[in-house]
Chain A
Amino acid sequence: MKIAVPVKFVPDLVEELTIDPSGAALDTSWLRLIINEFDDHAVEQAILLKERGGGQVTVMMTESDGADDFLFTAAAKGADQLVKLTGDFSSINNHALAHVYADLLKELQPDLVLTGVQAHNDIDGAVGPLLAELLGLPYVGYVAGLTVQGDKAVVRKEYSGGLVAEIEVKLPAVLGIQAAEQPPRYVAYSKIRQVMGTAKIEERPVAGLDLSGGTAVSRLFQPEAAERATMLEGGADEVADRLVAIFKEIGTL
């Protein structure tokens, strides 16, 4: 069982996001990037599948600050192969990226490709279903857990309200992971250090990207402040007093 997991860094939303002078992109000079949390779940799900049924897990990403650390961490968790695409990805869109990964995956021939269900900064569709179509494979997203049975995967697909659909998908397939069956595991730094000495990151240069097909944005802005909340000022005591008064007024206390 070969499992490929393409992963991506996204802006950390806890930080303040500022728009650059062009007005159409985020200012990247201060941007802190973190792993797309759904990719953490995709890596975890891949490793769980390997632990249950054996196989090989390949984690792949485009180069950026922190990429090596993430890949080594994945190796410490149990990933077998680490691939880093190198080149200029500054103006990449998801269509172009899907083509790059499709080429790589045609070589690797995985049984399963697990992507994150989405990333919060997409305008241009999602890589998972784009990839599936380019590879001629089926795609199912919103997946929270799966088992492999022969040449099929039985996946739990989430709908709203807590409803789950159990869906059978013929392999090979691409799945968009919403949540792994268990929270992403923690690995001690000492273990990652150890792996750094032995694991190898394969670098693959990518050139001649076809950037057509992406969707252009002409303006970014922050949502209107018009509907903002009435702010309760002061320390814990004052805020708590105000809240108690509000609870009483509305009648929940």
Chain B
Amino acid sequence: MSQDIFVVIEHLRGEVAEISYVMLAGARQLSQSSGGNVTAILLGHNAQGLTGNLAADKALYVDHAALAEFTSDAYITALAGPIREHAPRAVIFGHSSIGMDIASGLSAKLGLPIVASCRSFTAEGKFVSQICGGKIMAEGDLPGPTALVTMVPGGYKAEQGQSAQPPAVTTVPAPTLEGLRVALKQYIEPDTSDVDITKEAMLVSVGRGIQNKDNIGLANELAEALGCAVSASRPVVDQGWMPTTRLIGKSGKRVKPKIYLALGISGAPEHVEGMADSNVIIAINTDQNAPIFTVAKYGATIDMFDLLPVLTEKVKQAK
């Protein structure tokens, strides 16, 4: 049993994922109230070099050929031992395609409590989670003895979790990884045949508020008048109204245009993750409580179907 905070470093194809640094920054804050060290735990194969800029007091490195690429099965087996043995105060995972595949499983396997969607920790070491699409924050005492935590971005800056001083690395022997039931076959690269929305100076972005495929035409007309592209939130893409290449957010692209005009997008954390760095965010949403208004610079609670034809006309005239 220790007061240390473990961070499970996420990496994919030779690159440390940004959420890893955010987690290290959160761990640093939590360690100040727990009184322990921050330990990065890295699983991989010939990947020790990835520890170089992690802002951690030390790093545990587990090397095995079966850990070369992320799979839930191998990761759960490889993490169970060190967590059981060190019994840290908390183990932080990303609330992501990697972390969410393993954190709850480890919770069941090790009989340890879990806190999901944690965005930050308070000075007293309480967790603050972001739930209900960003509309509600939930605070509570970090459960014990060891809390497993999945962390969302937004509460800390990645730079806070980076350091020029590499942590001391201890290599931990890998467990036997046999009888694995999950295996990576291949990565399929994102489609690049469409416009690259990451290069646009302005985006007209539509969410579920657009209601149906036909209405996308209204956004297209505005974008055409402005000479920019149309992008979308996840439900729009999942409904097949727009191609995946236009998706913004956690599973889609990250964009930083000069202007991001969000039409009928609520501003769920998974969407905001992809557009929060835009220079100026403008949100049109009929719900005055929509979380998008907490990241937007300008907003209006007007019905987009009233606004769109008028706006398109005025943009055409202004040219």
Contact = CB atoms under 8 A, between A and B. Distances in A.
Interface of A: 11, 13-14, 16-17, 19, 26, 37, 41, 94-95, 98, 117-118, 120-126, 128-130, 132-134, 138-142, 154, 156-170, 173, 176, 178-179, 182-183, 213-225, 227-233, 235-237, 239-244, 246-248, 250-253
Contacts of B116: 122-126
Contacts of B295: 227
A248 B187 contact: no
Contacts of A162: 190-191, 244-245, 247, 251-253
Contact of B135 (A17, A95, A217, A247): A17
B90 interface: no
A229 B133 contact: no
Contacts of B259: 246-247, 250, 252
19 contacts: A37-B235, A41-B238, A123-B129, A129-B101, A129-B103, A141-B100, A156-B188, A164-B187, A183-B239, A217-B139, A218-B126, A228-B294, A229-B297, A229-B299, A230-B297, A230-B299, A233-B300, A244-B314, A247-B318
Contacts, number: 277
Contact of A165 (B126, B130, B187, B252): B187
Contact of B141 (A14, A94, A130, A216): A216
A215 B181 CA distance: 30
A130 B315 CA distance: 52
B293 interface: yes
Given A215-B140, A229-B283, A237-B310, A161 B252 contact: yes
Given A157-B97, A158-B97, A222-B136, 19 more contacts: A13-B135, A121-B131, A123-B129, A124-B114, A138-B181, A142-B101, A161-B254, A166-B187, A167-B184, A219-B139, A219-B140, A229-B299, A231-B293, A236-B307, A240-B311, A243-B261, A250-B280, A252-B258, A252-B259
Contacts of B289: 16, 222
B287 interface: yes
3 closest pairs, A vs B, by CB? Answer: A162-B190, A229-B299, A133-B108
Contact of B299 (A120, A125, A231, A235): A231
Contacts of A239: 284, 300, 302, 307, 311
Given A134-B108, A247-B226, A218 B306 contact: no
A108 B258 CA distance: 54
A218 B127 CA distance: 10
B82 interface: no
A178 B238 CA distance: 9
Contacts of B282: 243, 246
Instruction: Give the one of A17, A164, A253 with max B CB within 10 A.
Output: A253
A165 B116 CA distance: 24
A205 B69 CA distance: 43
B138 interface: yes
B128 to A, nearest CB: 9
B266 interface: yes
B232 to A, nearest CB: 13
Interface string B281-319: 111100101010111111111100011001101110011
Contacts of B181: 138, 169-170, 173
Interface residue tally of chain B, by bracket?
Answer: 35 or more
Looking at chain A's contact residues, is the secondary structure mostly helix, strand, loop, or mixed?
Answer: mixed
Interface of B: 12, 17, 69, 71-73, 76, 96-97, 100-109, 111, 113-117, 126, 129-141, 143, 148, 150, 181-191, 201-202, 226, 228, 235, 238-240, 244-245, 247, 250-254, 258-259, 261, 266, 268, 279-284, 287, 289, 291, 293-302, 306-307, 310-311, 313-315, 318-319
A232 to B, nearest CB: 4
Given A120-B133, A246-B298, A250-B259, A129 B117 contact: no
A129 B184 CA distance: 18
Contacts of A118: 100
A235 B302 contact: yes
Contacts of A129: 72, 100-105, 108
B202 to A, nearest CB: 4
B97 A160 contact: yes
B113 A236 contact: no
A60 B266 CA distance: 30
Nearest to A241: B314
Contacts of B245: 162
B311 to A, nearest CB: 4
B95 to A, nearest CB: 9
A14 B311 CA distance: 25
Nearest to B317: A244
B197 to A, nearest CB: 11
B270 to A, nearest CB: 9
A48 B202 CA distance: 38
